[in-house]
Amino acid sequence: LEMEAALREALDRQEAGCPGEDAPFELHYQPQVRLKPNCLYRVEALIRWTHPRWGAVSPAEFIPLAEECGLIDRLDSWVLQTSVAQLGRWRAAGIPVPGLAVNVSAVRFARGDLPDQVRAALATNGIPANDLTLEITERLMMTEEVGVHDALDALHALGVTLSIDDFGTGYSSLGYLKRYPVGELKIDRSFVKELDIDAANRPLVRAIIQIGEALGLTVVAEGVEREAQHRMLEAEGCAIGQGYLFARPMPAATLVDWLAGEG
């Protein structure tokens, strides 16, 4: 309850335009890289909250809370608008960031205004819809709500890519892959974690990559921490990797330095 009040207050301050270093929320960006040839594919925006007394609070803690107490719409809207505006600023400054991925809570889809909000954010910042990916969870694909289905179709029609985050860990019905306009699968990091240690993981990862190939979906592996995992993913034909091996999530300004180093 204390955290709910703190979260509400932080959002109020953030939306009121709380400046720079005092802002409660910040976005970090983590590179997703094409494995062959090695180059930046896009960046994923990840929210960070620093509380004046508690310090850094993990999104794994406050995102579920925001979903429960009805604050997730405001939080995810702020993330969408701020990250798309950031992509616009990078490009205006001649910094070649090829694309952006944003996490959107399943709860957010229940409200019908998401496609309009996405369209507006892209238009305001001159970003083509093709350059935006929304990461959603398998849980969302299981709902039968007409509103959710319509929102997915409208986003697809706009040209936005829909990516299934944490693929393979949720409800294991695959039927939604043909019912919904999904463009991408993210192999959950639990499968990648012991890829080079426990032989049982490799056939699973291979199967996910083959599902992707069969359905024409891009496959992204998350949680790549070691060179051995990288080599196995490449050997299995995985297109994109994300993880500490390549880069950690970092503030927008640091990403510019990282890109210069990659140059």
Note whether 32 and 220 are within 8 A (CB).
Answer: yes
Give least dist CB 158 to Mn ion, A: 20
- Residue 131 within binding range of Na ion, rule CB under 5 A: no
How many C-beta atoms lie closer than 10 Å to residue 215's C-beta? Answer: 13
For ligand G, give the closer residue by CB, 92 or 251: 251
Three-state DSSP string of 203-248: HHHHHHHHHHHHHCCEEEEECCCCHHHHHHHHHCCCCEEECCCCCC
For Mn ion, give the closer residue by CB, 83 or 103: 103
- Residue 239 within binding range of ligand G, rule CB under 6 A: no
- Residue 161 within binding range of ligand G, rule CB under 6 A: no
- Residue 217 within binding range of ligand G, rule CB under 6 A: no
Phi, psi of 220 (to 5 degrees): -115, 130
How many C-beta atoms lie closer than 10 Å to residue 200's C-beta? Answer: 10
Helix (H, G, I), strand (E, B) or coil at 7: helix
- Residue 135 within binding range of Na ion, rule CB under 5 A: no
DSSP string, 102-147: EE--HHHHTSTTHHHHHHHHHHHHT--GGGEEEEEEHHHHT---HH
Per-residue x/- mask for Mn ion, residues 158 to 177, rule CB under 5 A?
Answer: -------x------------
Give least dist CB 240 to Na ion, A: 13
CB burial string 227-248: b at 16+ within 10 A, e below: eebbebbeebebbbbbbebbbe
Contact stretch for ligand G (CB under 6 A) within 2-10, 11-19, 197-205, 240-248: 240-248
- Residue 10 within binding range of ligand G, rule CB under 6 A: no
- Residue 165 within binding range of Na ion, rule CB under 5 A: yes
Give least dist CB 109 to Na ion, A: 17
- Residue 166 within binding range of Na ion, rule CB under 5 A: yes
Give least dist CB 101 to Na ion, A: 11
Q: Which residues of this chain interact with Na ion, rule CB under 5 A? A: 165-166
Q: Which residues of this chain interact with ligand G, rule CB under 6 A? A: 30, 46-47, 58-60, 63, 76, 79, 103-105, 135, 165-166, 189, 222-225, 242-244, 249
Q: Which residues of this chain interact with Mn ion, rule CB under 5 A? A: 103, 135, 165
